[in-house]
Amino acid sequence: MPNALLVYPKHPPTYWGASFALDIVEIKSAFPPLGLLTIAAIFSTEYHLRVVDMNVAPRAGFEPATFPLGGGRSIQLS
């Protein structure tokens, strides 16, 4: 069974970011990886999928993957 690893990078802190408010509203990430989840829905059931959001689990263990994919937003280019 082929493995696919879908990684969403960590958001950098910004002046307009709402990262300070995450604790108040009791959530772990302000921007869920919806693009990667859409791509994951396209894969057939033969694949073992793993979606890793680096904002939620920055030190998640990565296992070898046949298809490593990444997503992101323009602010994450820096």
For the chain, the average pLDDT equals 78
- Region 35-40: mean pLDDT is 87
The total number of structural domains in the chain stands at 1
Distance CA 25, CA 40 (A): 28
Ranges of beta strands (E only) in the chain are: 3-8, 48-53, 67-70
Report the pLDDT value the prediction gives residue 27, as an integer from 0 to 100.
Answer: 77
Asked if residues 10 and 16 have their Cβ atoms less than 8 Å apart, the reply is: no
Residue 46: which pLDDT band, with cuts at 50, 70 and 90?
very high
Domain, as residue range, for 45: 3-77
Report the pLDDT value the prediction gives residue 41, as an integer from 0 to 100.
Answer: 92
- The model's pTM is 0.70
Percent of the chain with pLDDT over 70: 78
More confident position, 20 or 36: 36
